[in-house]
Amino acid sequence: MKKTQKSIIKLENVWKIYEMGDVKVEALRGLSLDVKKHEFVAIKGPSGSGKSTAVNMVGCLDIPSTGKILLDGEDISLMGESDLAQIRGRKIGFVFQKFNLIPTLTAMENVMLPMVFQGTTAEDRQKRAKELLTMVELGDRIDHRPSELSGGQQQRVAIARSLANDPEVILADEPTGNLDSKTGKMVMFFLKKLHKTGKTIIMVTHDDKLAKHADRIEHLIDGKIEQKRKKRG
């Protein structure tokens, strides 16, 4: 896919400080990152280095203590909760390590749920959910509950769900962390497929083999990007 020079995500000197009673945890310490449209960026780093915190902030799940986060040129640290929710719903698709499907809903209903919150009509929801589940090769499992699906299948449902509102950005926080390497590869295959269709992808992973699929690997240590960046391609 042709890369443009246009930034879609830009973090400028972002600090995140969690205060738990008297203890202050500096999860991010001046993180700067620039992700271009259609880019596939892998983030690596030791556990506790702030990867999830960074990804959650890009995904508007939280706002920085200081610093700026620009999503499509808009500063999300200035937005209210309701606007953030709308942006999450429309522009971001999440894939979590723990799948995080709603256990009481079927695969189909899980994929339709993000569209419910955007007010999509029932007809459109069903059509799109079916398409997406077929794309992740689960067209024959649409009425299954998460508990009736394997880990890899659940993660594919989660991928389908992340695409429900056709977002520009997919955020995957250790999407293969709970899967064996074979199913992990399968999930990776679908993420690459999404990248080819033009999505911007940020993926957190420990696995060097999977990270190699990305256009660029960023190393996060102690809440900032390590300066010697490895570039690929």
Ligand X SMILES: Nc1ncnc2c1ncn2[C@@H]1O[C@H](COP(=O)(O)OP(=O)(O)O)[C@@H](O)[C@H]1O
Question: Residue 47 binds what, of Mg ion, other proteins, ligand X, none (CB under 5 to 8 Å, by partner type)?
Answer: ligand X
Under the binding rule (CB under 5 A), the answer on residue 52 touching Mg ion is yes
50 interface partner picked from other proteins, Mg ion, ligand X, none, CB below 5 to 8 A per type = ligand X
Which range, of 31-39, 45-53, 62-70, 212-220, touches Mg ion by CB under 5 A? 45-53
Q: Segment contacting other proteins (CB under 8 A): 135-143, 161-169, 188-196, 216-224?
A: 161-169
Best CA proximity match to 197, nearest among 154, 143, 159:
159
Side-chain half-sphere CA neighbours of 98 within 13 A: 4
Residue 110 in the binding site for ligand X (CB under 6 A): no
Residue found by looking up tokens 């690596």 in the block: 44
Contacts of 74 (CB under 8 A, 6+ apart): none
Q: Which stretch binds ligand X (CB under 6 A): 7-15, 17-25, 114-122, 138-146?
A: 17-25
- Does position 25 interact with other proteins (CB under 8 A)? The reply is no
Told to check if 82 binds other proteins by CB under 8 A, we report yes
Is residue 178 within the footprint of other proteins (CB under 8 A)?
A: no
Indicate the residue among 48 and 198 with the shorter CB distance to ligand X. 48
Tokens in use for 97? 């390590």
In the complex with ligand X, the residue whose CB is nearer, 51 or 199, is 51
Which partner, other proteins, ligand X, Mg ion, none, binds residue 66 by CB below 5 to 8 Å per kind?
Answer: none
Cα separation, 162 vs 61, whole angstroms = 15
Amino acid letter for position 6: K
Residue with tokens 């299954």: 144
Among 20, 21, 82, 123, binds ligand X (CB under 6 A): 20
> Per rule CB under 8 A, is residue 72 in the interface with other proteins?
no
**Cβ contact 1:195 at 8 Å:** yes
As measured in angstroms, the least distance from the Cβ of 94 to Mg ion is 13
Distance CA 88, CA 214 (A): 23
Question: By CB under 8 A, is residue 81 in contact with other proteins?
Answer: yes
Tokens for 122? 């029932």
CB-based contacts of 131, cutoff 8 Å, min separation 6: none
Phi then psi dihedrals of residue 3, to 5 deg? -90, 135
- Does the CA dihedral 62-45-15-11 come out positive or negative? negative
Q: Which residues bind ligand X (CB under 6 A)?
A: 18, 20, 25, 27, 45, 47-53
Q: Which residues bind other proteins (CB under 8 A)?
A: 56, 59, 61-62, 81-82, 85-86, 88-90, 94, 96, 100-105, 109, 112-114, 116-119, 122, 161, 164-165
